[in-house]
A and B are shown apart, each in its own frame.
Chain A
Amino acid sequence: TQLLEQSPQFLSIQEGENLTVYCNSSSVFSSLQWYRQEPGEGPVLLVTVVTGGEVKKLKRLTFQFGDARKDSSLHITAAQPGDTGLYLCAGGRETYKYIFGTGTRLKVLA
């Protein structure tokens, strides 16, 4: 069974701090997605990365896909309370299926 491990599992920080969450696997993925999920709602796609070493920026969020396409990171600069949520990574292979990680639950305190 493919596993996508995310770390840390939980993170509580003050507004304005920076943070990085990680998504690691022993498997190679053709693409990797990051989602944010808020309580009572479905996940919402933030970004898809497809090339090893690729870096994408979305305002204060920076996503990187590892060179070997086995891992990814999400860095948030100057976190805000609105960033609070469950962050999920999902790895895709050459099929229609994605494997989801266990998630990082982030809480940003005002």
Chain B
Amino acid sequence: NAGVTQTPKFRILKIGQSMTLQCTQDMNHNYMYWYRQDPGMGLKLIYYSVGAGITDKGEVPNGYNVSRSTTEDFPLRLELAAPSQTSVYFCASSKTRQGREQYFGPGTRLTVT
């Protein structure tokens, strides 16, 4: 049981490039989340999903897109990367309706230069 896995662990992008951050969970959780964490700050919700085929915006969705074609996978797409997107990105999943007991992946550290 691997829990929540994220790839890649590190990535450097040039301004204007695009990339997809991968997230997979093997706990059969319906709810999945993408957060970003800037230095010295808490986590901010980018997008979330309550089940396959259903996604919704969080606090800071601009510049990102998501899809949820299966229960297990919840990729995050960055189009036209900007320096403001330099951050650590965490994917999380939870089983219960109110998002309790979120399980987090190890994170992806992204630098845009």
A30 to B90, CA, bound (A): 24
Interface Cβ pair total, 8 Å cutoff = 61
Contact of B100 among A31, A44, A100, A102 (CB under 8 A): A31
CB neighbours (8 Å) of A48 from chain B are 100-101
- Interface hit among A12-20, A66-74, A76-84, A91-99: A91-99
Q: Which residue of A lies closest to B94 (CB)?
A: A96
A94 to B100, CA, bound (A): 11
Question: Does B106 lie within 8 Å of A33, measured CB to CB?
Answer: no
Question: Does B42 lie within 8 Å of A42, measured CB to CB?
Answer: no
Q: Which residue of A lies closest to B58 (CB)?
A: A97
B37 to chain A, nearest CB (A): 9
A4 to B43, CA, bound (A): 11
* A interface residues with partner B (beta carbon < 8 Å): 1, 4, 6, 9, 30-31, 33, 40-45, 48, 88, 90, 92, 94, 96-98, 100-103
Residue contacts A-B, CB under 8 angstroms, 5 given: A9-B40, A41-B106, A44-B104, A92-B100, A96-B98
